[in-house]
């Protein structure tokens, strides 16, 4: 074998030995979540697939923060035509590690609706009218399904929330731009509105607040669920930079090193 070929072969052999050492650490499954974090950003400590949709799309939750601290869940894109706020949650997932809270985020709760650009899921049901608490048979834009919890997305989220049981849950929507302060804990709602720089509002769904996720959670659990609405066309800077910082500030949390001062 020519000398150049022998050198090339030797180099390839060394690379073969070195590659496993360069692979990311974190490829092991998380016992708590049953999911792998092999290619996860630094902020992610675990992931969970809550379920799959009619269109065979996965509903993913990302675990961030510090287990053992206050549990918080953030949910976006329950309605597929309200997708801008998912970038708040994606910024948290893709950013620096979160400290000060035990945080779960679901950036896209209704992936079929997002893909189609519609409010409803792949079966034509408004997921925010499909929950068992005060469910009624609604038609049209607020189609509530054949029965309470008829949709696989609803059942997947109910199971997830029963397991995690957050103290605080924020559900992000558009385009009404405001925070519902006529809710379970008005003082907390007022704080959210102040820190997020959004108006205080009474979000009564025009009289059709039946079968909503926040209503179900507030009725079933000690924790508090709250609706947060941004405008129809929030800026990229707001969704990717300002709002993520403000959301963490609501809970006294921050990104960076454990020694960093909260925002």
DSSP 65-120: E-TTS-EEEEEE-SSTT--TTHHHHHHHHHSSPEESSEEEEES-S-HHHHHHT-SS
Q: Kindly list the domain boundaries of the chain, sorted by start residue.
A: 27-255
Contact status, residue 42 vs residue 97, Cβ threshold 8 Å: yes
pLDDT at site 262? 54
Alpha-carbon distance of 169 to 116, in angstroms, equals 26
pTM: 0.84
Rounded CA-CA distance 99/258 in Å is: 6
Mean pLDDT of all residues belonging to the chain: 87
C-alpha neighbours within 13 Å on the C-beta side of residue 29: 6
Under DSSP, is residue 170 helix (H, G, I), strand (E, B) or coil? strand
**Which DSSP category does 238 fall into?**
I
Domain topology for 27-255: Aminopeptidase (3.40.630)
pLDDT at 30: 40
Collect the ranges in the chain with pLDDT lower than 70.
1-40, 259-263
């Amino acid at each position: 074998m020519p000398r150049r070929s022998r050198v090339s072969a030797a180099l390839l052999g060394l690379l073969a030995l070195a590659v496993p050492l360069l692979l990311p650490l974190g490829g092991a499954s998380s016992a708590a979540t049953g999911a792998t974090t092999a290619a996860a950003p630094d902020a992610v400590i675990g992931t969970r697939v809550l379920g799959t949709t009619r269109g065979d799309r996965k509903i993913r939750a990302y675990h961030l923060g510090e287990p053992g601290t206050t549990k918080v869940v953030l949910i976006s894109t329950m309605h597929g035509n309200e997708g801008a706020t998912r970038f708040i949650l994606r910024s948290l997932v893709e950013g620096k590690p979160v400290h000060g809270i035990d945080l779960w985020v679901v950036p896209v709760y209704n992936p079929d609706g997002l893909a189609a650009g519609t409010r409803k899921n792949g079966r034509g049901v408004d997921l925010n009218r499909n929950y068992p608490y005060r469910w009624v048979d609604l038609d049209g834009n607020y189609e509530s399904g054949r029965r309470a919890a008829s949709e696989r997305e609803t059942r997947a989220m109910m199971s997830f929330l029963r397991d995690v049981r957050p103290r605080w849950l924020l559900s992000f929507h558009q385009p009404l731009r405001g925070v519902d302060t006529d809710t379970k804990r008005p003082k907390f709602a007022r704080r959210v509105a102040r820190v997020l720089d959004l108006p205080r509002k009474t979000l009564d769904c025009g009289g059709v607040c039946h079968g909503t996720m926040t209503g179900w959670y507030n009725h079933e659990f000690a924790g508090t669920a709250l609706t947060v609405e941004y405008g129809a066309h929030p800026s990229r800077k707001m969704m990717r930079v300002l709002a993520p910082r403000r959301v963490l500030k609501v809970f006294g949390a921050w990104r960076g090193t454990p020694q960093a001062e909260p925002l």
